[in-house]
Amino acid sequence: MDLIFVSLENWDEIWRRNQFLCAEFIKKDPATRILFVGLPRDISNQVRRREFSGIFADDTCAIKELPQVTFTRPRKFLPNSVAAFRQINEMAFLRHVKRHVTRMQFKNPVLWLNPHSAVFLAGHLNESAVIYDITDDWTTLTQSESLKKLTIQQDSQLCARADAVIVCSERLYEMKKTMATSLHLIPNGVDSEHYASVTDTLAVLPPEAKDWQHPVFGYTGTIHRDRVDVALVEKIATSMQHGSIALVGPCHLNAEEQARLKNTGRVHITGGVPYRRIPEFMRAFDVCITPHVVSAFTESLNPIKLWEYLAAGKPVVATPVAGFRDYPELVKIASSPDEFLAACIESLNEDVTLLEKRRTEARKHSWKSRIDSVLAIIESITAIPPNPGG
């Protein structure tokens, strides 16, 4: 099978749903070839900032650990804020993808679209099927009214146009069931073995954790105001008598928000960490935490960190958000700063049998099982109907 995989992120060392799915496609069939299309390079922005170095460089390359994957980035020449400019960018994007599809000699590839904004590609790449994979409710993300209106329009168009729509959460399924004729719920998953060493007391701790005072309440994942409740984390930190809060992952907080957290003296923000090193950092955690904002946006999520935390086996405390609420016997749920801190402290002395119970649950949600479900969908929408005369 040949796949054109249009992603909301570039392929890098911080793995997300898309990389896991691509890796599982190839494990299932090593002959699979994937053109992984990342975020467009914003040429207009580079020019405005007078950053001309490498402006015409070709970002296309094979992925070292998965040579069946070719990663490429189109160029965006004009601001998308003007409709006519956006159409020019879309034409440039389409030409770029077509060029690589021709070069790789793809024939009737499956077109996998993650961004709603990629609806313009559907029907133009000689694809055998279009799959729209929705991981978040982008309509509720903090954005301008004009951008929200465009998001709703593109999402609606792609739901109607796709041969299959896949969502990762119950909330998204409820939202899209009247918009898509072929709708499927496939949550995120986990490679449990990747986290088997988290509780190994003899294994190496990351050097970044040398100044973390215990107990360490640790978070892994994107640190963004639409996800992480900055005020909650700040209040928890200022209430702590000892210990640390470690936020491990790409940080998208503004300077003021970061300063507020760092000024508590207890919050450590590491920045992005490669997927291969996540177990190393989790080894330094005493409790795994998810201090997410409770909102329509987070209600649409199926956090990968849920399955990763369960696979690690360590205590888990979260705000009452989707996914985590489903496992009250394995996850402590807390809303206020006082409740959250109390739950973390109580978790330090939890029943040791919960460790294996968490890992047992995590093994039920492997990426392998998720890709089996995806392949069944692809088979159903790309099957050639029988010849009536044959």
Q: What is the mean pLDDT of residues 43-68?
A: 82
Whether residue 333 contacts residue 291, with contact meaning beta carbons closer than 8 Å, is answered with no
Domain 192-364 of CATH type 3.40.50.2300:
no
**To 10 degrees, the CA torsion angle through 169, 174, 175, 177?**
110
User: Residue ranges of the domains in the chain?
Assistant: 2-189+367-382, 192-364
Cα 149 from Cα 143, distance rounded (Å): 10
| pLDDT at residue 384 greater than cutoff 70 | no
Cα 22 from Cα 274, distance rounded (Å): 17
Of 117, 106, 133, 108, nearest to 18 by C-alpha is: 133
Question: 287 - beta bridge partners?
Answer: 217
pLDDT of residue 383: 67
Name which residue leads in pLDDT, 34 or 48: 34
pLDDT of residue 291: 98
Would you place residue 235 in the very low, low, confident or very high pLDDT band (cuts 50, 70, 90)? Answer: very high
Alpha-helical segments (H) within the chain: 17-28, 43-48, 83-103, 145-161, 170-176, 230-239, 255-262, 278-282, 296-299, 304-312, 337-347, 353-362, 367-382
Q: What is the mean pLDDT of residues 356-382?
A: 97
Q: Which of 21-35, 48-62, 96-110, 123-137 has the lowest mean pLDDT?
A: 48-62
pLDDT of residue 50: 78
Of 205, 235, 230, nearest to 340 by C-alpha is: 235
Name the average pLDDT for the chain.
94
pLDDT of residue 390: 35
pLDDT of residue 157: 97
- Domain 2-189+367-382, second-level architecture: 3-Layer(aba) Sandwich (3.40)
pLDDT of residue 143: 84
The number of angstroms, rounded, from the C-alpha of 277 to the middle of its chain's C-alpha atoms is: 17
Question: What's the pTM?
Answer: 0.92
